[in-house]
Amino acid sequence: MASVTVTPDEWQYVAFDSARIAAVAEKLLGETGLDVDLKIEVDETTPLGRVSMTSLQPLVVAVESGAFEDAKRPRQLSEVAVADVLGRLLHRCRDRLDPAFGEPPPDAALTLQQSTAWDAYAVGRCARLGYPVQRQRRLYHFRNRHGFNDVADQAFARLWEAQGLTWADLEAVCQETDAARSASVG
């Protein structure tokens, strides 16, 4: 069975609870079908919200504490935010570990279009698991990278509802929306 470790053990700057974070992560691991050990390293010294997967094996997620904070209660933990952040990353991790998905580039090499397309696909799966997600926020973010047009909106809807996509499918969406943006400029 997969284990979840959250650091730090004792919180100095934020009112977080490692056991609550671990419980959300354990539930998500099961729901995404991942059987991997997960280490969540929280930097509580910054209110920023940057998040990254620093390793796949073992799975390590680095989180600035702002990503897990309740937006209406600074320095307080939001389990909804934890589920939102970890759900997106764990779906992407599952994709990376699935040979049928293909071989996406490392996160640092992804274009903004590729990253937002993959996020739409990942967060759509979180929504189908019953997690509260901000679909309109994700759509707006997608439009900013893929265009404010019908082609982009239809592409987002397909990604949001999809199951079993591959990296090639995500790249095809990016090419489709890029062609639509180019056609509207020319």
**pLDDT tens digits, 117-140:** 999 999 999 999 999 999 999 999
Q: What average pLDDT does the segment 83-90 reach?
A: 98
Please report which helix (H) or strand (E) contains residue 16, including its range. none
Exposed/middle/buried for 162, CB within 10 Å: 0-12, 13-18, 19+?
middle
Q: What pLDDT does residue 28 have? A: 97
Type of residue found at 34 = L
pLDDT in tens, 13-56: 999 999 999 999 999 999 999 999 999 999 999 999 999 999 99
pLDDT at 102 over 70: yes
Q: What pLDDT does residue 2 have? A: 85
Q: What pLDDT does residue 186 have? A: 62
Instruction: Give me the residues paired with residue 69 across strands.
Output: 77
- Rounded Cα gap, residues 7 and 169, in angstroms: 36
pLDDT in tens, 6-17: 999 999 999 999
* Of residues 30, 127, 14, the one with CA closest to residue 78: 14
pLDDT at 162 over 90: yes
Q: What pLDDT does residue 63 have? A: 98
